[in-house]
Amino acid sequence: MRYQGQVIEWHDDKGYGFIQPLNPGQGENRIFLHIKSFSQRGPRPLAGAVLEYEVIQDSKGRLNAQRVSYVRRQNKAKSTDKIADTFLSKSLLPYRQYPRQWRGWLITLYLAFIVALGLTRQLPLWFMVIPVLLSCLTYMLYAMDKQAAQQGRRRIPEKNLHVLALLGGWPGALLAQQKLRHKSAKTEFQQVFWATVALNWVLTGLLTLQIIQQFFALF
C-alpha cells in the first residue's frame, strides 16, 4: 500500500531525512527517508515536499520509506490538501526554509562598508579586492561540495569552508547557502558559520577602528 507524507526534516549532506505521514491511518510517527529510496533520480528533497511511498520495517522495527516518488500538487485530492493543512497548522515543519532578505542586506552593508573605505582611500585597494575574491572562491567550493554530495564523491572538509568564511569569504558562503540551498539546514554547521561571520566582523572592526574614527572626524 502506498501512502503520502510531507518531508519535515532533511539532511542534504548526509542524504537522509524524515517524513510526516498525511494519512490518518499511519498515525503521527515519523518515517525514515534515505536518498536511495527514491524510485527515480530527481531533484534533492526539501522540507515541505510531498511524497508518495511504501513503508517497511527494518530489523529493529523502525519504519522506512521505500519506492518513494514526488506528488504533483495539482493532482492531489482536496481531502489530502485538507489533511496537509491540518498538519501544517500544528507546526510540524520546524526545518522548513524560508527566504531571509536580511541576509542580502547584511552582505550589501558589508560590501558597502569596504568599498566606501576603499574609494575614500582610507584603505588600500587589496583590502577591497580580497573579500570579493575569497567570496567567489567560497561560492565555487560550496557548489563543488554540493555536486560531490549528489554524486557520492569525496566532500570538501567543512573546516575549509569555515576558514574561508573567517578570512572574509562569508558573503559568498551566505549567498551559496541561499541560492544553492547547501549547508543551510545543518544546525551544527550554521552555528560555527555564524560564529566565523561574527568574528570576521570583529576583526575587521579592530583593523579599521582608527581609520573609521578618522573617517567620521571629517564630518
Query: Has this prediction a pTM greater than 0.85?
Result: no
Distance between CA atoms of 142 and 189, rounded to whole angstroms? 13
Of residues 94 and 30, more confidently modeled = 30
Which has the closest alpha carbon to 186: 47, 66, 77? 47
Of residues 152 and 198, more confidently modeled = 198
**Hey, which residues does 52 pair with through a beta bridge?**
4, 69
Of residues 141 and 60, more confidently modeled = 141
Q: Is the pLDDT of residue 104 over 80?
A: no
The rounded mean pLDDT for the chain is: 78
C-alpha distances in Å from residue 156, one per residue of 23, 153, 197:
40, 10, 20
pLDDT for 160: 95
CATH 2.40.50.140 boundaries in the chain: 2-89
pLDDT for 121: 66
**CB-count exposure of residue 21 (10 Å: 0-12, 13-18, 19+):** buried
Distance between CA atoms of 23 and 103, rounded to whole angstroms? 37
pLDDT for 219: 59
pLDDT for 123: 67
Across 152-169, average pLDDT? 91
Q: What is the pLDDT of residues 115-155, one digit of tens each?
A: 776 666 666 777 778 888 999 999 999 999 988 877 778 88
User: How many other CB atoms are found less than 10 A from the CB of residue 177?
Assistant: 21
Of residues 212 and 114, more confidently modeled = 114
DSSP conformation letters of 2-27: EEEEEEEEEETTTTEEEEEE-SGGGT
Q: Which CATH number fits domain 2-89: 2.40.33.10, 1.10.10.10, 3.40.50.1700, 2.40.50.140?
A: 2.40.50.140
The greatest distance separating any two alpha carbons of the chain, rounded to the nearest whole angstrom, comes to 74
Q: What is the pLDDT of residues 12-28, one digit of tens each?
A: 878 889 998 887 666 66
pLDDT for 75: 43
- At residue 60 the predicted structure's pLDDT band, cuts being 50, 70 and 90, is confident
Q: Is the pLDDT of residue 161 over 90?
A: yes
Of residues 211 and 207, more confidently modeled = 207
pLDDT for 77: 42
- Local structure of residue 168 (DSSP, 8 states): I
pLDDT for 28: 63
pLDDT above 70 as % of the chain? 75
pLDDT for 204: 78
